[in-house]
Amino acid sequence: MSSGEEALHGSAGMPLALRGPAPPKVVAGFGFWLFLLSDIIVFAALFAAYAVLSGSTAGGPSGAELFDKSRVFLETMCLLASSVTCGFGSMAIFRSNARAMYVWMGITFLLGVCFLTIEGREFASMVAAGAGPSHSAFLSAFFALVGTHGLHVSMGLIWLIVMLLQVKTLGFKPMVTRRFYCFSLFWHALDIVWIGVFTIVYLGANSGHAG
Amino acid sequence: MQVEAQGHAPGVDPHEQHNARGYLIGLGYALVLTIASFWAATTSFVYAPAVPVLLATLAIAQMGVHLAFFLHISTAPDQANNLLALAFGVFVSGLIIFGSILIMTHLDHHMMPMDQLIQIQR
């Protein structure tokens, strides 16, 4: 890797016009970063809808009555831990260590499944108690925001399975590691969105809504 | 070999690719901030009207920790593209969220009370 480092320092002082095209990993990473930011803007719209509608309970249950903080804490820990294990997995990919990669990414997958299970149970119990998305504007906004995040996590898990299969069949080819690297960006970004969700939706519920 | 480095993709640590310490430090910070958030939401130790501001501060700090330690976004010169894109994303998100809250509370404030509105419709 030292030659790469030298090339890096060499190119820094070079006029822009003389530098070659950026390597595929940088281009793919930057493009995916732009996608993630646009995805976060989608979430921003859902957050805005939730902030505006969180008081419109239409006589139904409010957030403070519905949410269980210990369960949310458990969900938060699952996602945070999975973010870190995903980071360890990316390091294993960089070292081309397949065994460590399978272990860390397997743990990441299981933590993601734990998160989705807890969230699914919460949704099911809310719908069973008559607090489904059709009950009030507050609940519609809640299910739209938290449900979209959960949907992203489900998509991430499917993507992770596909990536593990690609490593199994194709090995650590540049295109595979590049995709895996985009997956890890996606997974970390979902954790950042979850910080907003647990702060605004779950912890903001009992101290009065802002909107 | 051609000169290949043209900036850095987000998520790649430019100096050390095998850096478990960074993730563990990030995990430590994130744990402290998360526990502080859950504590702030349930405690009566903090003056109640200040709790939302405290929660927002903790959340923004934790997002910063995740960006720095997990996504490896930094202010290095070769990360200018990533950082500019991030700044634009944050700007647009802020416009959408605070703009919506501002406009909707304003409209709500000026709306006729519901019982009068129902009388007009009769």
* Separation between Cα atoms, residue A140 and residue A53, nearest integer Å: 9
Question: What is the per-residue pLDDT for A61?
Answer: 86
For residues B101 and B93, is the Cβ–Cβ distance under 8 A?
A: no
| 3-state SS, residue B2 | coil
Q: Which residues of A96-130 are buried (b: 16+ CB within 10 A; e: fewer)?
A: ebeeebeebbebbbebbebbbeebeebbeebeeee
| CB-CB under 8 Å, A29 with B9 | yes
- Would you place residue B11 in the very low, low, confident or very high pLDDT band (cuts 50, 70, 90)? low
Question: What is the per-residue pLDDT for A210?
Answer: 41
Question: What is the per-residue pLDDT for B4?
Answer: 41
Q: How far is CA B45 from CA A89, B42, B48, in A?
A: 40, 9, 8
pLDDT over threshold 50, residue A2:
no
User: Which chain B residues in 47-76 lie under 8 Å from chain A, judged by CB atoms?
Assistant: 48, 51-52, 55-56, 58-59, 62-63, 66-67, 70-71
Residues A95-135 have pLDDT tens digits of 888 999 999 999 999 999 999 999 999 999 999 988 889 98
Look over chain B and give the mean of its residue pLDDT values, rounded to a whole number: 84
CB-CB neighbors (< 8 A) of A198 in chain B: 37
Listed in sequence order, the residues at least 6 apart from A138 whose beta carbon sits closer than 8 Å to its beta carbon are: A53, A54, A55, A56, A57, A58, A60, A62, A63
Alpha helix stretches (DSSP H) within B1-122? 20-42, 51-65, 80-110, 114-121
Residues A193-208 have pLDDT tens digits of 999 999 999 988 764 4
Closest CA to A7 of B1, B80, B35, B58: B1
- Would you place residue A22 in the very low, low, confident or very high pLDDT band (cuts 50, 70, 90)? confident
| 3-state SS, residue B24 | helix
User: Which chain A residues in 87-106 lie under 8 Å from chain B, judged by CB atoms?
Assistant: 87-88, 90-91, 94-95
Closest chain B residue to A96, measured at CA: B18
Question: What is the per-residue pLDDT for A54?
Answer: 87
* Separation between Cα atoms, residue A42 and residue A145, nearest integer Å: 10
| CB-CB under 8 Å, A34 with B23 | no
Closest CA to B69 of B37, B21, B18: B21
Closest chain B residue to A48, measured at CA: B97
Nearest chain A Cα distance for residue B75, angstroms:
15
Tokens of A176: 């595979």
Residues B23-79 have pLDDT tens digits of 999 999 999 999 999 999 888 888 888 899 999 999 999 999 999 999 888 777 778
Question: What is the per-residue pLDDT for A6?
Answer: 42
Q: Mean of the pLDDT values across residues A48-76?
A: 88
CB-CB neighbors (< 8 A) of B8 in chain A: 26
- Would you place residue A9 in the very low, low, confident or very high pLDDT band (cuts 50, 70, 90)? very low
| 3-state SS, residue B77 | helix
* Separation between Cα atoms, residue B71 and residue B33, nearest integer Å: 18
* Separation between Cα atoms, residue A144 and residue A127, nearest integer Å: 14
Tokens of A11: 């190119």
- Would you place residue A12 in the very low, low, confident or very high pLDDT band (cuts 50, 70, 90)? low
**Residue tagged 């976060």 (tokens):** A40
Q: Mean of the pLDDT values across residues B109-121?
A: 80
Q: What separation, in Å, do the N-terminal and C-terminal C-alpha atoms of chain B show? A: 81
Q: Does A16 touch chain B (CB under 8 A)?
A: no
Q: Mean of the pLDDT values across residues A48-66?
A: 87
Question: What is the per-residue pLDDT for B6?
Answer: 55
Look over chain A and give the mean of its residue pLDDT values, rounded to a whole number: 88
- Residue B50: exposure state from Cβ atoms within 10 A (0-12, 13-18, ≥19): exposed
Helix then strand count (H, E) for chain B reads 4, 0
Closest chain A residue to B66, measured at CA: A192
**Taking the model in full, what pTM does it have?**
0.85
Listed in sequence order, the residues at least 6 apart from A192 whose beta carbon sits closer than 8 Å to its beta carbon are: A40, B63, B66, B67, B71
Helix then strand count (H, E) for chain A reads 7, 0
From the list B51, B71, B105, which residue is nearest A207 (CB)?
A: B51
CB-CB neighbors (< 8 A) of A189 in chain B: 71
